[in-house]
């Protein structure tokens, strides 16, 4: 699993002394600047990180039945939210599955505990072209012993993962060895990779989360 590169303290001190420029991670899928580098030069002395490459929906992918869905989650009750592809005249096909256990809800984003039997309205928004989902309210805290399980099925993804115009062995290597699930607290913040369970045969990938944030399949 890839992890963010963390600059050691001596290096940060050296950067401060010498005035050397640094770069920060930018929004997933952002366009490179004139130098060909995906960087945000407005934030000096930020830590360096590889920008993940988003997995995209294939042009031939069926439409999703919805891209925005709101639902009530009750502490003390388990819930499962599904969003599916809706091919015209055909059966629905899996895209996204989100599972809340009975005791998943812990606290509101401001830290206020969620009481047993309390209901929380959550809105899920799917990116129109990426395997990416965001939740509102962002930062809803999940019980460490009862994580939320999020699973994507990427059968209808664009399998030209490296975006070089063809699907070849390099793309298959990326699919099998490098696909993962990444998260960030909010747009504009750094993406970090989570631990994930990848079923390469059924083309499903899932993770457990302890805070509802932006979640994406990337590499």
pLDDT tens digit string along 170-198? 999 999 999 999 999 888 889 999 999 99
pLDDT value, residue 20: 40
Measured CA to CA in angstroms, residue 216 lies from 32, 53, 76, 157, 195 at distances of 20, 10, 28, 13, 13
Taking the C-alpha atoms of residue 183 and residue 162, their distance in angstroms, rounded to an integer, is: 20
* Close Cβ partners of 199 (under 8 Å, ≥ 6 residues apart): 205
Q: Which residues pair with 73 in a beta bridge?
A: 120
The string of pLDDT tens digits covering residues 5-62 is 333 334 443 444 444 443 334 334 443 444 443 333 333 323 335 689 999 999 999 9
Domains and CATH numbers, the chain: 1-51 (no CATH), 68-218 (2.60.220)
Rounded CA separation 92/132 (Å): 19
Using the structure block, give the residue that is written with the tokens 């031939």: 60
147-171 tens-digit pLDDT: 999 999 999 999 999 999 999 999 9
């Amino acid at each position: 699993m890839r992890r963010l590169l963390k600059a050691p303290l001596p290096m940060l001190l050296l950067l401060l002394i010498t005035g050397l420029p640094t770069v920060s991670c930018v929004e997933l899928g952002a366009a490179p600047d004139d130098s060909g580098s995906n960087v945000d030069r407005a934030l000096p002395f930020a830590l360096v990180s590889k920008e993940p490459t988003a997995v995209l929906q294939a042009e031939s992918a069926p439409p999703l039945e919805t891209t925005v869905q709101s639902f009530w989650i009750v502490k003390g009750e388990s819930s499962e939210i599904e969003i599916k592809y809706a091919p015209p005249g055909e059966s629905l096909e899996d895209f996204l599955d989100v599972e809340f256990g009975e005791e998943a809800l812990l606290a509101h984003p401001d830290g206020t505990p969620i009481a047993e039997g309390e209901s929380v309205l959550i809105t899920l928004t799917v990116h129109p072209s990426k395997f990416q989902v965001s939740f509102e309210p962002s930062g809803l805290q999940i019980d460490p012993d009862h994580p939320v399980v999020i699973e994507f099925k990427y059968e209808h993804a664009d399998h030209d993962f490296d975006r070089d115009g063809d699907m070849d062995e390099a793309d298959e290597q990326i699919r099998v060895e490098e696909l993962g699930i990444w998260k960030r607290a909010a747009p504009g913040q750094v993406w970090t990779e989570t631990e994930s369970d990848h079923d390469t045969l059924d083309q499903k990938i899932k993770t457990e989360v302890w805070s509802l944030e932006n979640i994406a399949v990337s590499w």
